[in-house]
Structure 1
Amino acid sequence: MVDFLVLDQDGYPFSYLEQLDFTVAKLVPGTEGNSSAWQSYINREEVPGEGPWPGTETVIQATTESSSEGALVSNGDGSYHYTFGLDLNAVSAPLVVEYEPELTHRVGLQVGGSFRGESLPAANAVYTFQPSTGLTPEQDIDHRKIVSQESCSSCHGNDLALHGGGRVDVDYCVTCHNPGSVDAQSGHSLDFREMIHKIHMGERLPSVQSGEDYILWGFRNSPSDFSDVVHPQDPRNCLTCHDPDDEATPQALQIVEKPSMEACGSCHDDIDFVAGVGHPATNNSECT
């Protein structure tokens, strides 16, 4: 159950929300060289279907729960109460996700719908906590904060609005873009660390330079071709997004403390670690 307060642009309570999407994820600690990673409790199977794409396999994707699937109550004073339709103690399909209240969790919400005939502005909110104690990151629970919204906005301004325009906050994005989430149409990983690195590499990706396209089939199966993206600086300038001196990104040093095949291979996508092509590695415990 989630209680939250909504204010309008002038700071007054807003009691007319009717459509929201929610996420809930747990932070799985890293082992054997792996970094910690968010795992959504809400997942679906995506079938690639027929279309101008190479993917043929049904895959698992993290997703959201619509407020129509649970119970949303407006208290009439700007405060709301939402009860998830999903039972966290019984998540077994399409992916078994065990409820572990001692781990750090994050609940996210996305505003949708309209008011008086006009679409409501995009807004996301998250709350990060440990269910077993109620503690928050400010009270030193395990946390993962490697990139901040301020870093994204420093280049993109307020222009980042994905999935039809409703998703605008990186802390919300990572609750779905987990390891294991895949785009069925392209077969590409939707893991945030892989996807974002590849998008920013764009035309410099070895796969693109060899003639392939880097396309994700996203919102309503519309293609987004990132093959011609030109990053405006050297992509090895990691501190642009991952600054360990920034209070907003206290775990930014994980980029050097927790190197991985997934992160390194996102840019160096001509390497087959397992086969030993380009750079041999069997698991991430060897990377440091």
Structure 2
Amino acid sequence: MMNTHKTKIALLLAASAVTMALTGCGGSDGNSGEPGEPGGEPAGAIKTLNFTFEKAIITDGLPHVDFRVTNEDDMPVVGLQYFKFYAEQLVPQGATGAGNASQWQYLVDETCDLTPKVNKCAGSLVDNKNGSYSYSFSTNLNSSTRAAYNSELAQRIVLNNYIRGTTPAPLPDGTTLPVFTGIFDYVADTGAEATYSRKIVTTASCNTCHEDVINAKHYTSDVNFCASCHTEGKVKPGNEFNVLVHAKHKDLKLGSLDSCQSCHTASDAAPDWDNWSRIPTAATCGSCHSNIDFAAGKGHSQQLDNSNCIACHNSNWTAELHTGKTADKKAVIAQLGISAALAAQADDTAILTVSILDKDGNAIDAATVQDKIKRLETATNVGPNFPIMGYNPSPGSGKAKIAKDLVKDGALQAGVTIVDGKLVFTTPALPFGAGDTDTAFTFIGLEMCNTGTTLTACTTDSATTSMKAELAFGTKSGKAPSMRHVNSVEFGTCQGCHGDTFEIHKGHHSGFVMTEQVSHAKDANGKAIVGVDGCVACHTPDGTYASGANKGALEMKLHVVHGKQGVIKECTQCHNDFNLDAFKVKGALATSAGKYTTPITATCTSCHTPESIGHGLENMGAIVNGDYVQANQAAQSETCFYCHKPTPTDHTQVKM
């Protein structure tokens, strides 16, 4: 993706000027006596670049490639000024020794930079002025010092426009370009498509978390380029792609990484997706199992090469072992569910009733599974859109959220009874009020003891699995409850990285697996929206723990935590939308120990420093790190949205 710096009128004028120039030269490639192909209408604003390879062939060790480039509207792109071309080859499985995987070999690369400051091209580039280009290498592949060129192997041409340390070179008229990568695998002497490949992971799979592979600092839009560049002989030992990518990911606390198939999925774009289980090697396996030294025989029987690996580690067994954790977890989660009701009483208390459900959604007697419950945890608050009970006593209501275990280690907790097979608990008095505070809500987590996929009575060393979370609402007035919006962030976007069995906060909590059970809204297609709105029962405007120094309010916490990971680069990775109207019912958010900030400013400064915003925040009605009363009274005085109209795709957008 890119942001053009030109207005539509300017782009149209530039396009018209280039079109007239092309008409005058008849679409010539600039070489006398060579009329070239008819000129086409040039591209305007460039958001994406698409490559069609028409021919690639190697003659006497010199590669030549013909290709066409179009934009997102299938219009030809004329005047590309910078390319880096790479020639690589693929050694097939088993060719370097029994049990060895296929292996990319990096041969040569050449740069063609025709920007005015450089104007130098290693080979010969021809721009036919209609979106088609040709490039002939000047470096003979037989001269490669990295690997011996073999014309019988599958060959790869890669072209890329990333200039290290800067943005891609624009078109001559200044139109900016996105980072692009074009890849073509072929047979050297005929130009036919290669008959075998090494395409194991798709770019789309990586982008589930990274939004764009470019954001992972790979400087390319195609993970296949990463795989064929990070190869033995090109990078230092340990940075080969199959080693590096596993090492970078294996220690991340992401539920999706419990299964190799989170990344290695069957796809037309990854015909070799099952290599991870089909071709075990010491290098690949050792990149995750880093405590093993195969050559020295430490942690595993000694293996001096890969010839014996498949004898023990057959594909089915390997696949089952490396996907079993997730499969078992799903099997346990599917066995039970919960439902709950919250009913306010005249004395401002509320009765919470929790039912345990079987796999078909039918209520069962809680006593029959009580001994298998590690923890059934609840958190109750008032005011779903702006909770008024703090993690600790709130400056506003003077009360803290009500945290209550109904069952722990198989035992009913004080104040909890079983009535008609349901767990019943009466809360202390709640600070009900008008509007949003007429509604109380309870977020519920359930953790079960299990052996494998069987639910079992809890012991001190039992394995446990977090089950589906639940969210219940109740009002003092008896009217329909107020509910927090779920159109800004849907949990489905969280699952992209964390997986669909992600046990949020398991350890210091029971763990909350977010499913349709917590849904109270549907999308345009009638599908249940799984929101993160239950999280505010604990992640209140006052923050968590002793103060708000860690930015505990949900509006801020997620930005801070994910920002530290360095993975989140675009708002669209998490946000479906920005519900700007939600700020109309919010008050002050804790931003440092004992200090509060008006809500729009607090949310924005959880990513941006106040100085980077560019104008005095107080001049826009904001209170930054003031006292609670001052900031809360000013919460609806911020004028940010008079000018700003942020969207997930452009959070810098302003009203014009």
Considering the TM-score relative to the shorter chain, is it more than 0.5?
A: yes
Q: Supply the distance in 2 between the matched residues of 1:171 and 1:15 (Cα, whole angstroms).
A: 26
Correspondence list, 1:4-15, <5 A: 4-15=67-78
Distance verdict in 2 for CA 1:135–1:118, change over 3 Å: closer
Alignment partner of 2:204 out of 150, 165, 169: 150
Correspondence list, 1:255-266, <5 A: 255-266=276-287
TM-superposition CA deviations, 1:90-122 (whole Å, max 9, x none): 32x3x3x22222211111111231234454211
Alignment partner of 2:239 out of 168, 183, 190: 190
Match of 2:264 in 1: 242
Alpha-carbon shift at residue 158 of structure 1 (Å): 2.3
Correspondence list, 1:223-242, <5 A: 230-233=252-255, 235-242=257-264
> Contact conserved, 1:177 with 1:191, CA < 8 A, in 2?
yes
Q: Secondary structure at the match of 1:174?
A: helix
Alpha-carbon shift at residue 236 of structure 1 (Å): 4.1
Gaps of 5+ in 2: 1-63, 113-120, 162-167, 311-656
Q: Supply the distance in 2 between the matched residues of 1:20 and 1:162 (Cα, whole angstroms).
A: 21
Q: Secondary structure at the match of 1:80?
A: strand
Alpha-carbon shift at residue 126 of structure 1 (Å): 0.5
Q: Supply the distance in 2 between the matched residues of 1:113 and 1:237 (Cα, whole angstroms).
A: 40
The reply to whether residue 199 of structure 1 matches residue 248 of structure 2 is yes
The reply to whether residue 128 of structure 1 matches residue 185 of structure 2 is yes
Q: Supply the distance in 2 between the matched residues of 1:287 and 1:180 (Cα, whole angstroms).
A: 24
Alpha-carbon shift at residue 198 of structure 1 (Å): 0.7
Distance verdict in 2 for CA 1:182–1:158, change over 3 Å: closer
TM-superposition CA deviations, 1:195-243 (whole Å, max 9, x none): 1111111xx3xxxxxxxxxxxxxxxxxxxxxxxxx24225341111212
Alpha-carbon shift at residue 19 of structure 1 (Å): 0.8
Distance verdict in 2 for CA 1:71–1:258, change over 3 Å: same
> How many equivalent pairs are there?
228
> Contact conserved, 2:213 with 2:220, CA < 8 A, in 1?
no
Match of 2:229 in 1: 176
Amino acid at match of 2:207: S
Alpha-carbon shift at residue 154 of structure 1 (Å): 2.1
Match of 1:34 in 2: 100
Larger RCO, structure (CA 8 Å, separation 6 or more): 1
Alignment partner of 1:66 out of 111, 116, 121: 111
Gaps of 5+ in 1: 43-63, 205-229
TM-superposition CA deviations, 1:238-262 (whole Å, max 9, x none): 111212x433222222212210110
Q: Secondary structure at the match of 1:109?
A: strand
Distance verdict in 2 for CA 1:269–1:176, change over 3 Å: same
Match of 2:479 in 1: none
Amino acid at match of 1:191: E
Match of 1:251 in 2: 272
Distance verdict in 2 for CA 1:159–1:131, change over 3 Å: closer
Match of 1:215 in 2: none
TM-superposition CA deviations, 1:3-61 (whole Å, max 9, x none): 1111133322111111111111111023211100111102xxxxxxxxxxxxxxxxxxx
Amino acid at match of 2:185: T
Distance verdict in 2 for CA 1:283–1:26, change over 3 Å: same
Q: Supply the distance in 2 between the matched residues of 1:36 and 1:98 (Cα, whole angstroms).
A: 16
Q: Supply the distance in 1 between the matched residues of 2:267 and 2:65 (Cα, whole angstroms).
A: 30
Match of 1:58 in 2: none
Distance verdict in 2 for CA 1:161–1:22, change over 3 Å: farther
Match of 2:35 in 1: none
Alpha-carbon shift at residue 85 of structure 1 (Å): 2.4
Q: Secondary structure at the match of 2:89?
A: strand
Distance verdict in 2 for CA 1:130–1:120, change over 3 Å: same
C-alpha RMSD over aligned residues: 2.0
Amino acid at match of 1:33: G
Alignment partner of 2:295 out of 248, 255, 274: 274
The reply to whether residue 20 of structure 1 matches residue 70 of structure 2 is no
Match of 1:224 in 2: none
Query: Greater Rg, structure 1 or structure 2?
Result: 2
Amino acid at match of 1:65: E
> Contact conserved, 1:3 with 1:80, CA < 8 A, in 2?
yes
> Contact conserved, 1:122 with 1:166, CA < 8 A, in 2?
yes
The reply to whether residue 84 of structure 1 matches residue 137 of structure 2 is yes
Q: Supply the distance in 2 between the matched residues of 1:72 and 1:231 (Cα, whole angstroms).
A: 47
Q: Supply the distance in 2 between the matched residues of 1:161 and 1:106 (Cα, whole angstroms).
A: 24
Q: Supply the distance in 1 between the matched residues of 2:269 and 2:142 (Cα, whole angstroms).
A: 32
Match of 1:113 in 2: 169
Amino acid at match of 1:192: F
Q: Secondary structure at the match of 1:120?
A: coil
> Contact conserved, 1:23 with 1:176, CA < 8 A, in 2?
no
Q: Supply the distance in 1 between the matched residues of 2:160 and 2:275 (Cα, whole angstroms).
A: 28
Q: Supply the distance in 2 between the matched residues of 1:76 and 1:102 (Cα, whole angstroms).
A: 34
> Contact conserved, 2:102 with 2:198, CA < 8 A, in 1?
yes
Alpha-carbon shift at residue 189 of structure 1 (Å): 2.0
> Contact conserved, 1:110 with 1:125, CA < 8 A, in 2?
yes
Q: Supply the distance in 1 between the matched residues of 2:90 and 2:160 (Cα, whole angstroms).
A: 20
Correspondence list, 1:48-63, <5 A: none
